[in-house]
Amino acid sequence: MIQKSIIPLIYLAVLTSSLLASVDPPHNSTSQENPPKPAAIEKDPKVASDSKKPRKKGEKQPSEKAVSKKRPLKPAGSDEAAEEPRPETIGHPFSWPFIGWEKMKPRGGTTQGSQTTLASEANPAFYRIQERGITPKERDRRAILALAGDFRVSFDFIETASSAFPYTPPRPYFSWATECAFVIEDQPDFISIQHILVMEFVDESGEIQGPFTMKHWRQDWTYQDRRTFRYLGDRTWQSQIRENSSGQWSQAVYQVDDSPRYETTGRWDHRGGISVFRSGSFWRPLPRREFSLRDDYNVLGGHHEITVTPSGWLHTQINRKIVAHNGKIEKVIAHELGADRYERISSPSLAPAHEYWKATSAFWSAVRRKWDAVLEDKAPVRLRKDVDDKPMFAHLFALAGQLEDGEIDKKQEQKLIKEALTIIDRFIERPEE
């Protein structure tokens, strides 16, 4: 039976912090077998200095075990580890070498996840990209298909520059999650990949809770796409016709409720035995990691790269935090670097993602078709923030949740789908009307 994705309130705040995938990471912590660490675990400076003291004749060097009893080490990424003093020789926060660790302690994860095990073998899909004799387009397709799999995903963001003076950078952001990405459509000129979070949490008593599933973001790739959409700011998107798309791919990214987020175009580069997609510049709404805390800008602009590796893939971002009005830049308040790392895992099992999709795929297929029709219109479309005091994803998740037990017949399913499409219409505004 599927673990319900209608999650206890203690976890709902955690999961809904990920209102979009590749740029809206879910909150989690770093307690796991191979934790992605903001910094390496360091020995206690006091212990290190003790080990260098001269010993009296016959006095034994304390063992590592004895040292650990004297003062246990804390895992990197934990509150206590971040607050301990760091020797000058260890390093520094990325891009800010003269700011102390204590002032750049990452914000983000607040829960403790279960252990993960990284895949012990390289991804076979990576080597299929390298096959000789295939067409450039087929090589591109194989690189896109290699983005699917079971992953431990880590999210790192840090501001690097600002137009303000004096300027103190805000704390960087870090979180992680386990996520299943699988292909839901594969056509010669089109590939769609759905991401679903499958997460376990360690509660205060040390017991593992879950797994909990939540539909996450989706990415659609189209070859030589003539029609794309762009974000204008103010929760508004507009379709546009592209004159020259030869050899290019568009990557359209959608929110957890399948509403639009951003679309960009670019080319794959396979030189040197590694595949990299480089996008053009694009705008998107603020991710939840930002709009829940800040109101000094309203558009996140920039460009990104996606690099396929034998162990997964890396999504690097060069972002600009923009104040915009009527689709025009008024001010850039800061620059930001981001790295979302997708590492293939062998455990825990993310099979609940496929169970959830089996139960709800017809529902979400109807929702996708609705959004396709909405975005075909040349007129701008603006989305209300909420209806009946709830965001769109909360409405649609509640309806999809009724399908998870598999006890609803086709007639009832169609009723839920009709209700979902009506809710979407209630969120849509046409600015020119």
The β-bridge relationship of strands 107-108 and 173-187 is parallel
Residue type, 151: F
Per-residue confidence (pLDDT) for residue 184, from 0 to 100: 98
> Of 94, 28, 103, 116, which Cα lies nearest the Cα of 339?
94
Backbone CA torsion sign across 356, 180, 352, 174: negative
Chain-centroid distance of CA 234 in Å reads 22
Chain-centroid distance of CA 411 in Å reads 35
Given a contact cutoff of 8 angstroms between Cβ atoms, the answer to whether 319 and 300 are in contact is: yes
Per-residue confidence (pLDDT) for residue 70, from 0 to 100: 38
Backbone CA torsion sign across 347, 352, 354, 357: negative
* Helix 410-427 with 392-401: angle, nearest 10 deg: 180
Q: What is the pTM of this model?
A: 0.81
Q: How far apart are CA 103 and CA 84, in angstroms?
A: 12
> What are the tokens at 94?
């990325």
Residues 6 or more apart in contact with residue 238 via CB below 8 angstroms:
229, 230, 232, 378, 379, 380, 381
pLDDT tens over the chain, length 433 residues: 445 554 443 344 444 444 333 334 444 443 334 443 333 333 344 334 444 444 444 544 444 444 334 333 333 334 444 444 544 445 678 999 999 888 999 998 777 777 899 999 999 999 999 999 999 999 999 999 999 999 999 999 999 999 999 999 999 999 999 999 999 999 999 999 999 999 988 888 888 888 999 999 999 999 999 999 999 999 999 999 998 899 999 999 999 999 999 999 999 999 999 999 999 999 999 998 998 889 999 999 999 999 999 999 999 999 999 999 988 999 999 999 999 999 999 999 999 999 999 999 999 999 999 999 999 988 999 999 999 999 999 999 999 999 987 788 999 999 999 999 999 999 999 876 5
